[in-house]
């Protein structure tokens, strides 16, 4: 057929238009592990196997969660812990949901200016390294509370696998030795005693790590429950460690600590029910804000990785993270306006000036200055049992190996969660997140977190269990994973594998993984006024999808040693 000049022009315009609309990326098709009955996905193969063994032995999702939490404290000490804290969101098979807050607390002897000098300026790295950085741990109390309310197997059965792993040892992975070898000098500097992680020469993958002190600590937790950690010999060792330097945690702090049951945040997104963590986590509020704000846009038609999709996500994230810095904190100490922040009326007004063609400078959204965004080590695990009960747990020491302080004679690392408070209004923490009075240090107050353990229902049934580590990137990683499944029609494994982008308001910068943004999209975003930076790996999502046929797809993130185990 002969093509006229007009037809040729229209064809060229159509081709150009198609290229602009379809500047999207594709994620190679793949599926995660398929299980008929139950699934555990977490950051280390040994811990995943422990959880699956508990389920096979007749335990429920909460039993498995306790066992996995403790196993991670042995095999994944960079983030797994008994010296830290976290959050759990659960859904019973019948549909009832809830949340447990076992976040750390500020010691009774703390105060809002404890990391400031006489002139009111932050003093060095006292909130990051050493004994003064430690918040009162909540992990053991949290696991005790979960078991008391929902456990079906004896407590000893859930703790014994951790005793065995610590005493018999396990083989170190490449990622584990990389983290340990890179911190040998810091471990030695912060600790005044020998610790099992420090040795002559480098650790090598395949070497077996045996932790006798930790094994004895777990035996006390196994035999005495909560008292095996917050009282008796373990508490004595903990407090002696505090007294050896400038730590301020006392027995009164350990006696007073209690986890808190909370009502989860619930919202609808494109016919799905989102169930996530309330404050003192900022995760649920921010996730719901992002999902409600993006729901009116056809991002599924625009495509994953397209310039319009990334531009929209970025503009929404700037505003949500600005809200986070201003309004969020511990609801037991500050009146957090959760209903306002997640209301459709507020979000419509808040997002009214979003421009799909131009970047809004962060300084115009709210004043502030941030120059750093550091890496973080948290960990997450997702569990679904044979009855359909589901648990989503995110837990942390904050930085990798927390404060780097290991309790002498007890074998576990202590957190550095005090850095998650707003040390001074407008001053960023290690993740570049700023805060205000809502997150100021107050004795017995819980510090703000980005952890976002989340469940998703579809047509009244469990559909997804999702969460991730990643510091300030946790919220956006969970957000993108949900979009990938619901809007971009990906399998769970595709959604987890998909490359990620991130913006947190300050610094005014789109962080992205290698391969997350095509050359064409990068050019478009720069023309809109964005600065971009390759960040390396963002998040390590471990998730489960309940497929339409009822089977479970366990998706372990290949960015780490994560593994799904199901049956």
Q: Are residues 67 and 147 in the same domain?
A: yes
Q: Are residues 357 and 429 in the same domain?
A: no
Q: Are residues 430 and 338 in the same domain?
A: no
Q: How confident is the model at residue 20 (pLDDT cuts 50, 70, 90)?
A: very low
Per-residue confidence (pLDDT) for residue 8, from 0 to 100? 37
Gyration radius (Cα) of the chain, Å: 23
Per-residue pLDDT reduced to its tens digit, 49-108: 999 999 999 999 999 999 999 999 999 999 999 999 999 999 999 999 999 999 999 999
Helix (H, G, I), strand (E, B), or coil: what is residue 277? coil
Residue 463 lies in a domain: yes
Q: What is the pTM of this model?
A: 0.94
Report, as residue numbers or ranges, the catalytic residues. 378
Which of the two residues, 18 and 466, has the higher pLDDT score? 466
Per-residue confidence (pLDDT) for residue 262, from 0 to 100? 98
- pLDDT of 372 strictly over 90: no
Q: Are residues 398 and 354 in the same domain?
A: no
pLDDT more than 90, % of the chain: 87
Which residues are bridge partners to 272 per DSSP? Answer: 269, 458
| Residue that is written with structure tokens 């959050």 in the block | 87
How far, CA to CA in Å, does 468 sit from each of 87, 422, 475? Answer: 12, 23, 9
Q: Are residues 267 and 238 in the same domain?
A: no
Domain membership of residue 80 as a residue range: 38-258+377-439
Per-residue confidence (pLDDT) for residue 4, from 0 to 100? 42
Whole-number average pLDDT of the chain:
93
Q: What average pLDDT does this structure show over 128-145?
A: 97
Q: How many of the other CB atoms lie within 10 Å of CB of 154?
A: 12
| Region of residue 128 (phi > 0: left; psi between -120 and 50: alpha; otherwise: beta) | alpha
Handedness of CA 247, 251, 253, 254 (dihedral sign): positive
Q: Are residues 216 and 176 in the same domain?
A: yes
> Which of 2-16, 255-269, 488-502 is predicted least confidently?
2-16
- pLDDT of 304 strictly over 90: yes
Residue 139 lies in a domain: yes
Structure-block tokens of residue 499: 């490359």
Per-residue confidence (pLDDT) for residue 3, from 0 to 100? 40
- pLDDT of 9 strictly over 70: no
* Phi and psi at residue 395, to the nearest 5°: -140, 155
Q: How confident is the model at residue 431 (pLDDT cuts 50, 70, 90)?
A: low
How many independent structural domains does the chain possess? 2
Q: What average pLDDT does this structure show over 309-319?
A: 97
Q: Are residues 97 and 150 in the same domain?
A: yes
- pLDDT of 520 strictly over 90: yes
CB 452 within 8 A of CB 287: yes
Per-residue confidence (pLDDT) for residue 12, from 0 to 100? 37
Per-residue confidence (pLDDT) for residue 430, from 0 to 100? 76
Per-residue confidence (pLDDT) for residue 92, from 0 to 100? 98
Q: Are residues 337 and 384 in the same domain?
A: no
Residue 455 lies in a domain: yes
Helix (H, G, I), strand (E, B), or coil: what is residue 524? helix
Q: Are residues 175 and 242 in the same domain?
A: yes
- pLDDT of 23 strictly over 80: yes
Per-residue confidence (pLDDT) for residue 374, from 0 to 100? 45
Q: Are residues 383 and 292 in the same domain?
A: no
- pLDDT of 440 strictly over 90: yes
CATH of the domain at 494: 3.60.20.40
CB 564 within 8 A of CB 49: no
Q: Are residues 388 and 242 in the same domain?
A: yes
CB 362 within 8 A of CB 145: no
pLDDT more than 70, % of the chain: 93
CB 170 within 8 A of CB 207: no
Q: Are residues 215 and 252 in the same domain?
A: yes
- pLDDT of 370 strictly over 60: no
Structure-block tokens of residue 301: 């038609």
Question: What are the b/e assignments for 98-108, b being 16+ CB within 10 Å?
Answer: bbbbbbbbbbe
Per-residue confidence (pLDDT) for residue 17, from 0 to 100? 33
Question: Pick from 567, 438, 417, 562: which is nearest to 48 by CA?
Answer: 562
| Region of residue 49 (phi > 0: left; psi between -120 and 50: alpha; otherwise: beta) | alpha
Residue 4 lies in a domain: no
Q: Of the candidates 389, 417, 439, which is a domain's last residue?
A: 439
Q: How confident is the model at residue 432 (pLDDT cuts 50, 70, 90)?
A: low
Per-residue confidence (pLDDT) for residue 22, from 0 to 100? 58
Per-residue confidence (pLDDT) for residue 14, from 0 to 100? 32
Task: Name the H helices within 460-545.
Answer: 474-486, 492-497, 519-528
> Which of 173-177, 348-352, 429-433 is predicted least confidently?
429-433
């Amino acid at each position: 057929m002969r093509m006229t000049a007009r037809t040729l022009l229209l064809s060229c315009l159509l081709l150009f238009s198609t290229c602009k609309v379809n500047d999207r990326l594709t994620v190679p098709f793949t599926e995660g592990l398929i299980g008929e009955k139950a699934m555990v996905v977490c950051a280390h193969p040994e811990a995943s196997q422990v959880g699956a063994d508990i389920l096979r032995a007749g335990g429920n999702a909460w039993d498995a969660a306790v066992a996995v939490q403790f196993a991670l404290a042995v095999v994944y000490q960079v983030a797994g812990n008994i010296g830290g804290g976290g959050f759990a969101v659960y859904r019973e098979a019948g549909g009832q949901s809830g949340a447990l807050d076992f976040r750390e607390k500020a010691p009774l002897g703390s105060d809002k200016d404890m990391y400031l000098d006489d002139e009111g300026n932050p003093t060095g790295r006292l909130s990051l390294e050493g004994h003064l950085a430690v918040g009162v741990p909540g992990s053991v109390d949290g696991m005790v509370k979960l078991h008391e309310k929902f456990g079906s197997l004896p407590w000893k059965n859930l703790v014994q696998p951790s005793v065995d792993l610590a005493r018999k040892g396990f083989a170190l992975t490449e990622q584990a030795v990389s983290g340990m070898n890179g911190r040998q000098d810091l471990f030695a500097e912060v600790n005044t005693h020998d610790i099992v992680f420090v040795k002559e020469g480098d650790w090598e993958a395949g070497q077996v790590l045996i932790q006798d002190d930790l094994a004895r600590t777990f035996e006390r937790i196994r035999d005495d429950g909560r008292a095996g950690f917050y009282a008796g010999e373990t508490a004595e060792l903990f407090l002696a460690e505090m007294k050896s330097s400038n730590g301020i945690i006392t027995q009164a702090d350990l006696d007073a600590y209690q986890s808190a049951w909370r009502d989860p945040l619930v919202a609808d997104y494109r016919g799905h029910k989102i169930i996530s963590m309330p404050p003192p986590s900022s995760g649920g509020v921010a996730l719901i804000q992002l999902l409600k704000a993006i729901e009116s846009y056809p991002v599924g038609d625009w495509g994953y990785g397209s310039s319009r999709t990334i531009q929209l996500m970025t503009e929404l994230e700037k505003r949500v993270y600005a809200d986070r810095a201003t309004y969020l904190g511990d609801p037991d100490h500050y009146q957090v306006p959760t209903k306002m922040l997640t209301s459709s009326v507020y979000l419509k007004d808040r997002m009214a000036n979003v421009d799909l063609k131009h970047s809004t400078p962060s300084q115009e959204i709210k004043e502030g200055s941030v120059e750093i965004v550091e890496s973080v080590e948290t960990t997450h695990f997702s569990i679904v049992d044979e009855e359909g009960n589901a648990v989503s747990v995110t837990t942390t020491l904050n930085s990798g190996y927390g404060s780097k302080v290991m309790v002498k004679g007890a074998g576990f690392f202590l957190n550095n969660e005090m850095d998650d408070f707003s040390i001074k209004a407008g001053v960023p923490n290690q993740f570049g997140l700023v805060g205000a009075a809502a997150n100021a240090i107050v004795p017995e107050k819980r510090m703000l977190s980005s952890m976002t353990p989340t469940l998703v229902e579809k047509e009244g049934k469990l559909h997804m269990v999702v969460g991730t580590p990643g510091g300030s990137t946790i919220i956006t990683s969970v957000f993108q994973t949900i979009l990938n499944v619901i809007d971009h029609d990906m399998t769970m494994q595709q959604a987890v594998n998909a490359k990620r982008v991130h913006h947190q308001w300050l610094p005014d910068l789109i962080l992205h993984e290698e391969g997350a943004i095509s050359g064409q999209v990068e050019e478009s975003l720069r023309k809109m006024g964005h600065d971009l930076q390759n960040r390396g790996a963002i998040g390590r999502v471990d998730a489960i999808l309940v497929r339409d046929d009822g089977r479970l797809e366990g998706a372990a993130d290949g960015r780490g040693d994560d593994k799904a185990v199901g049956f």
